Amino acid sequence: MAELVRVAVDAMGGDNAPTEIIKGVVEAVHADERVKVFLVGQEDVVKKELADYSYPAERIEVVHASEVIETGEPPVNAIRGKKDSSIVKGLGLVKNGECDAFVSAGSTGAVLVGGQVLVGRAKGVERPPLAPLIPTENGCSLLIDCGANVDARPSQLVQFARMGSIYMENVMGVKNPTVAIVNIGVEEEKGNALVKETYPMLKECKDINFIGSVEARDIPYGAADVIVCEAFAGNIILKLYEGVAGGLMKKVKEGMMSSLRSKIGALLVKPALKKVLKDFDTSNHGGAPLLGLNGLVVKTHGSSKSTEICNSIIQCVTFKEQKINEKIREAIQQEVVEEKEEK
44 within some domain: yes
What burial class does residue 3 get, using C-beta atoms within 10 Å of its C-beta: 0-12 exposed, 13-18 middle, 19+ buried?
Answer: exposed
Position 341 scores a pLDDT of 66
Torsion sign across C-alpha atoms 66, 70, 75, 78: negative
Is 249 found in the same domain as 234? yes
327 within some domain: no
Helix, strand or coil for residue 241? helix
| Domain boundary pick from 235, 257, 283 | 283
What is the number of structural domains in the chain?
2
Is 134 found in the same domain as 100? no
Position 261 scores a pLDDT of 87
Residue ranges, the chain, pLDDT below 70: 1-2, 282-283, 336-337, 339-343
Is 225 found in the same domain as 140? yes
Q: What are the backbone angles phi and psi of residue 130, rounded to the nearest 5°?
A: -90, 130
Is 159 found in the same domain as 170? yes
Torsion sign across C-alpha atoms 310, 3, 124, 74: positive
Is 120 found in the same domain as 141? no
* DSSP class of 225: S
Sheet holding 101-104, edge to edge: 60-64, 35-41, 5-10, 101-104, 296-299, 288-289
330 within some domain: no
Is 194 found in the same domain as 55? no
Is 271 found in the same domain as 133? yes
180 within some domain: yes
329 within some domain: no
Is 208 found in the same domain as 274? yes
Note whether 158 and 129 are within 8 A (CB).
no
Is 168 found in the same domain as 27? no
Position 256 scores a pLDDT of 85
Q: How far apart are CA 327 and CA 167, in angstroms?
A: 9
Note whether 163 and 292 are within 8 A (CB).
yes
Note whether 8 and 312 are within 8 A (CB).
no
Question: Could you tell me the CATH number of the domain that includes residue 252?
Answer: 3.40.718.10
Position 289 scores a pLDDT of 94
Q: How far apart are CA 255 and CA 97, in angstroms?
A: 53
Is 115 found in the same domain as 19? yes
Boundaries of domain holding 202 = 126-283
Position 340 scores a pLDDT of 66
DSSP string, 256-308: HTSSHHHHHHHHHHHHHHHHHHHHT-GGGG--EEBTTBSSEEEE--TT--HHH
DSSP string, 133-199: EEEETTEEEEEE-SSS-SS--HHHHHHHHHHHHHHHHHTS--SS-EEEEE-SSSSTT-S-HHHHHHH
Any residues with CB less than 8 A from the CB of 334 and at least 6 apart, and which? none
340 within some domain: no
140 within some domain: yes
* DSSP class of 118: I
Any residues with CB less than 8 A from the CB of 223 and at least 6 apart, and which? 141, 180, 214
> If we measure between CA atoms, which residue out of 160, 233, 165 comes closest to residue 201?
160
28 within some domain: yes
Is 26 found in the same domain as 77? yes
Position 246 scores a pLDDT of 83
Q: List residues bridging with 297 in a β-sheet.
A: 102
Is 132 found in the same domain as 277? yes
